[in-house]
Amino acid sequence: MKLIGLITAVFFLIPVASLAAVDVKLRIEGPDQNFVSSPLVLPESCSAVESGTSTPRVFSGDKAICALEQARADDLISAYQVTDWVFGYSLDAINYATNTPDWSQTWTIRINNIAAQTGIDGASLQSGDVLLLAYGPWPLEPLNLRLATSTSALNQPVEMSTEVWNDTNKQFENFYATSTFWINGEKIESASGTTGWTPAATGTVEAWVEAPGKARSDKKILEIIEATASSSDSGPGNDATGTPPVESAGSNNMAGGGGTIIVHQTIDTAKAVKYLLAGQLSDGSIGGDRIVSDWAALALAAVAADSDAREKLKNYLLADDPGAKTTDYERRAMALMALGVDPYSAAGKNYIEKIVSAFDGNQLGDSLYFNDDIFGIFPLFSAGYSNADAVIAKTISFILASRQADGSWGGVDLTAAAIQALAQAKNRGGLEPELETNINEALLKAKNYLKSAQQNTGQIGSNSMSTSWSIQAINALGESPFGWEKNYHNPNDFLRSQQQSDGGMEETTAADNIRLWSTAYAITASTDKTWSGILNTFPRPVIVVNAAGGLNNASSSADTTQDIASTSLPEATLKADETGSTTAIIVQAEAAFPAAPEQARAKEQRKVNAIDKKVKGVKISNYAGPINEKPDNIADLKSTSSNLTEAKNIPDSNAYLSEKPNRNYAKFIFFFSSVIALTLGLYLIMHKRISRK
């Protein structure tokens, strides 16, 4: 009896659990207007009638067809039609818009912008999903309207741009093609996908964008305020306690009834910069803290703030000891590069050499951690390294291998940083196909992780710092933080709620350096720039082995390096860098060097390999010379011509290495032929003896 009771209880409990409300947003974009943009409470099951029949069919499991049926029941639409094609239901019509006979104009189904792989009866929805039904030519990728701000002053131009969904990368990207912007009924045509609009009256306006062959964007709300000196001081989010986005009574821009208008906010960047600069001490540091000063350098560079203040900060960073960890060198290199300082010669310090010397052949720094790997990517890419360099490719692979099952790197902060690093590697190109596939997969999972960490206030992670880094990650993905809404709040809304009346972030009771630190992060996030977009780029120094046997240390300017590679050495070969050395080695073709006996060639080849692996203190792992002559290390080989004078008259390493396999191959053929001949001879001798018997 107890067993029967338990089974009965489970039987009745399961349906109750499945009836939990599923809150979704339904968007229906017709051929010439928006039909619906409204939140819905999705029924767990519904009944629908197929076109041409009168028998209803029941659908359960939070299917997309039930959202359509609920929209009809709520009078958001007047009618719809579906057809059962055995493999799934097609959506044939909504209101007056019907699929054409040749299917050139048809209804498409997308969930969170991703095209459904089933019929409307098979697509399941979860809370927070956005169901988009759009009419037009397949595949009808969705558009997104990107606004430079959600609040603008009267008579101040507002920049707008168009983004389009990439079905391959699963993200929005810039759309530089013919677009039509609509702002409160005003039509603005653009051939480039961008436009500027100057408001002539205060109040709330609606804006969206459309383009031929694309699904119309969702509407965005723009608040126009008076351009007064006090408007920024008294605006929402600037009070001492911090407030959420403004909610005002009236229509919520969604068909089907009243609600509230959410006016999205961004931080007051000018006030934030003013607060940050107020923390600069006489020695040029920000708050007297080297770490805060490093991040402040990135923030001030991102907004091109006070040049005198940046110069004072730069001088402080050049004179200061950043610390002894790999991450210290990486962070300081990023700060100096943002301020325009060459990291190869920053007040006599080579920060790039410090970073690559921590490369062990697989990863940077301590193998127990991956933060030093993530942050090494940014300065190296901006210092002339590419995906073709082992230090980059191996480190990227290590970063990928370090992620957890949920797609994160242990939390929001490092996941957001990893997204920036991987996205930069992807955008640089030149990746091996398998590595590129792994990066795309990791970016999608990491994005979903950040989405899952977003709270109803728009906050991502535990505080404003995590949210700031997340905003940069969103930009690295090619998306807009305004599109990351939860409960109608986006990450920028949360940051604005944390900005205090003095311009700084976090509560005024927090420690000064914590407020300076978080403010620096928020300033950078407010610019829509990633770390890679803030750093200045510097070429990698080149050492040239000339035909006369000498060594030239090429200028670090990009023009000079290009001149050496293209004119001074027309037959030059750029040698592969296997350990991530800070200097590219160019060796002239072998014809420029005198012939050398075999033993001398092997000895000279050892020198070539040593130069290729000139990372201070790293053991030589790939050595072509005699084993009894193998040096213990290459600490004495540095990136200066005076320490590389042994490399005179180096024969071309590729020519030498290509001969050795040929000789081995010949030996193998000779040995194999001898064995066959011996076996055949023995066989013939034995055969004759047997035949005689």
Looking at the structure, tell me whether residues 467 and 562 fall in a common domain. Answer: no
Whether the upstream peptide bond of residue 39 has omega within 30° of 0, thus cis, is: no
Give the CATH number, domain containing residue 119. Answer: 2.170.130.30
Residue 372 lies in a domain: yes
Structure confidence at residue 416 (pLDDT): 96
Structure confidence at residue 462 (pLDDT): 87
Q: Is 690 exposed, middle or buried (0-12, 13-18, 19+ CB in 10 A)?
A: exposed
CA distances from 336 to 327, 329, 500 (A): 14, 10, 29
Looking at the structure, tell me whether residues 385 and 478 fall in a common domain. Answer: yes
The pLDDT confidence band at residue 675, using thresholds 50, 70 and 90, is confident
Looking at the structure, tell me whether residues 66 and 202 fall in a common domain. Answer: no
Out of 534, 551, 576, pick the residue that ends a domain. 534
The mean predicted confidence, pLDDT, of the chain is 76
Looking at the structure, tell me whether residues 199 and 55 fall in a common domain. Answer: no
Q: Which of 149, 158, 154 is nearest to 225 (CA)?
A: 154
- Token pair belonging to 653: 């390493």
Over range 457-462, report the average pLDDT.
92
Q: Is 246 or 333 the better-scoring residue by pLDDT?
A: 333
Cross-strand pairs, 250 = 259
Over range 582-607, report the average pLDDT.
41
Q: Collapsing DSSP states into helix, strand and coil, what is residue 60?
A: strand
Which of 86-90, 218-222, 580-584 shows the lowest mean pLDDT across its residues? 580-584
Looking at the structure, tell me whether residues 187 and 295 fall in a common domain. Answer: no
Other Cβ atoms less than 10 A from the Cβ of 632: the count is 7
Structure confidence at residue 352 (pLDDT): 97
Residue 674 lies in a domain: no
Looking at the structure, tell me whether residues 259 and 273 fall in a common domain. Answer: no
Number of folded domains that form the chain: 4
What DSSP letter does each residue of 267-336 carry, written as one string?
--HHHHHHHHHHTB-TTS-BTT-HHHHHHHHHHHHHTT--HHHHHHHHHHHHHS---SSHHHHHHHHHHH
- Round to whole Å and give the CA distance between 337 and 202: 42
Residues 6+ apart with CB under 8 A from 251: 258, 259, 261
Is pLDDT above 70 for 151?
Answer: yes
Structure confidence at residue 543 (pLDDT): 56
Looking at the structure, tell me whether residues 625 and 508 fall in a common domain. Answer: no
Other Cβ atoms less than 10 A from the Cβ of 625: the count is 18
Structure confidence at residue 265 (pLDDT): 75
**Cβ contact 556:344 at 8 Å:** yes
Residues 6+ apart with CB under 8 A from 219: 34, 37, 206, 207, 208, 253
What DSSP letter does each residue of 652-682 carry, written as one string?
PHHHHHHHHHHHHHHHHHHHHHHHHHHHHHH
Looking at the structure, tell me whether residues 297 and 185 fall in a common domain. Answer: no
Which of 4-13, 409-418, 488-497, 618-627 shows the lowest mean pLDDT across its residues? 618-627
Out of 220, 235, 263, pick the residue that ends a domain. 263
Q: Which of 170, 174, 172 is nearest to 444 (CA)?
A: 170
- Token pair belonging to 616: 């201070």
Q: Which of 350, 343, 337, 333 is nearest to 614 (CA)?
A: 350
Can you list the alpha helix ranges (DSSP code H) found in 429-463?
Answer: 433-452
Is pLDDT above 50 for 16?
Answer: no
Residue 558 lies in domain: 542-654
Is pLDDT above 80 for 495?
Answer: yes
User: Looking at residue 407, what DSSP letter applies?
Assistant: S
Q: Is 151 or 47 the better-scoring residue by pLDDT?
A: 47
Out of 534, 555, 579, pick the residue that ends a domain. 534
Looking at the structure, tell me whether residues 375 and 488 fall in a common domain. Answer: yes
**Cβ contact 264:148 at 8 Å:** no
Residue 499 lies in a domain: yes
The pLDDT confidence band at residue 227, using thresholds 50, 70 and 90, is low
Q: Is 247 or 31 the better-scoring residue by pLDDT?
A: 31
The pLDDT confidence band at residue 276, using thresholds 50, 70 and 90, is very high
Over range 348-360, report the average pLDDT.
96
Looking at the structure, tell me whether residues 154 and 173 fall in a common domain. Answer: yes
Residue 327 lies in a domain: yes
Q: Collapsing DSSP states into helix, strand and coil, what is residue 186?
A: strand
Is pLDDT above 60 for 220?
Answer: yes
Residue 158 lies in a domain: yes
Looking at the structure, tell me whether residues 506 and 575 fall in a common domain. Answer: no
Looking at the structure, tell me whether residues 427 and 554 fall in a common domain. Answer: no
Is pLDDT above 80 for 450?
Answer: yes
Provide the whole-model pTM. 0.50
Is pLDDT above 70 for 2?
Answer: no
- Token pair belonging to 249: 């009574």
- Round to whole Å and give the CA distance between 43 and 61: 9
Question: b/e for 428-466, b at 16 or more Cβ within 10 A?
Answer: beebeeebeebbbebbebbbebbeebbeebbbbbebbbb
Which single residue is written with the structure tokens 């653009």? 190
Residue 489 lies in a domain: yes
Give the CATH number, domain containing residue 217. Answer: 2.60.40.10
